[in-house]
Amino acid sequence: MKKNNPKVSVCIPVYNCEAYIAKTIRSVLAQTLTDFELVVIDNASTDRTAEIIKEFNDPRIRAIRNERNLGMMGNWNRCLEEAVGDYIKLLPADDLIYPTCLEKQVAAFIQHKNVALVCSSRDIIDVNGKKLIKRSFTGLTGLVNGPKAVRRIVRSGTNRLGEPGAILFRRDLIARGNRFSDRFPYVIDLGLWIKLLGMGDLFIIQESLCAFRVSPQSESVNSRHFHRDDFSTFIRSMDRNLYQLSSLDVFSGIANSSLLELMRRVFYKLTKVIDLVRK
């Protein structure tokens, strides 16, 4: 049964993540803001994921299992359909949110009525949970006009807002028909964030409020050049008038995206070496 009017819907789309799903669920249940529902949607996993989810007995948890695998985009969009809170956080099944994450992100919405989306810094962790680096939306903090934030993102060549776990957004904007799209699959999350920033402001929290897990085997590691290609194609397709983008903004974004791909390649190779040494 859906809980009536929780402040936040935290949605965990999961497929075959038995190694981490319990840690992710516990990170949500440990929140200092307690007015939330936790919607866990199992995308027809074939490992022990479903069994582990059933071990949790908390009235705020609503566990759903798809009869068939909907693909990543399909399951992410089902999360949006199931959420009933004022605000939504999509949390990947191997990532974590820190105890004050919801409290601090919701406070930004309450303080600033025209905010569409709140992002925070995040810690990048390895398979064992060890912190590797911190990622932030550099150069800006606090309340930022939506188009200004988008221009900074475009010029940077990457998703400065962060992975889904770093984001909290308004459900009423989703009710207007905004969904995840696989038109540019390797920037699927950024595509939605940009849409939302066309309808409101951004609030940036420089404190790390979540953790994003990487491993040498992860999809994000093995598809680096697709991220670059999709980012470049995506920003070329954007409404330049809506976001006040210039040709120089787009050119800078494409150039920086290629440079960042090279830097990511070096970073992930080092991560792989560190992982092998620890073994």
Q: pTM for the full model?
A: 0.89
Whether 70 and 121 share a structural domain = no
Whether 269 and 205 share a structural domain = yes
Helices (H) and strands (E) in the chain, counts: 11, 10
The domain of 117 spans 95-279
Say what the pLDDT of residue 221 is: 40
Of 60, 94, 128, the one marking the end of a domain is 94
Number of domains observed in the structure of the chain = 2
Of 45, 64, 94, the one marking the end of a domain is 94
Say what the pLDDT of residue 245 is: 95
Say what the pLDDT of residue 271 is: 60
Report, as ranges of residue numbers, the positions in the chain whose pLDDT lies below 50. Answer: 1-3, 217, 219-225
Say what the pLDDT of residue 121 is: 98
Say what the pLDDT of residue 220 is: 44
Cα(87)–Cα(120) distance, rounded to whole angstroms?
15
Whether 31 and 123 share a structural domain = no
CATH number of residue 82's parent domain? 3.90.550.10
| Residue 107, C-beta contacts closer than 8 angstroms, at least 6 positions apart | none
Of 66, 94, 122, the one marking the end of a domain is 94
Whether 117 and 188 share a structural domain = yes
Cα(35)–Cα(244) distance, rounded to whole angstroms?
38
Whether 125 and 236 share a structural domain = yes
Cα(256)–Cα(60) distance, rounded to whole angstroms?
43
Query: If DSSP codes are grouped into helix, strand and coil, which group holds residue 228?
Result: helix
Whether 22 and 154 share a structural domain = no
Whether 205 and 223 share a structural domain = yes
Q: List Cα–Cα distances, 163 to 57, 61, 138, in angstroms.
A: 28, 23, 15
Whether 162 and 112 share a structural domain = yes
Whether 187 and 258 share a structural domain = yes
Whether 129 and 77 share a structural domain = no
What phi, psi does 49 have (nearest 5°)? Answer: -55, -50
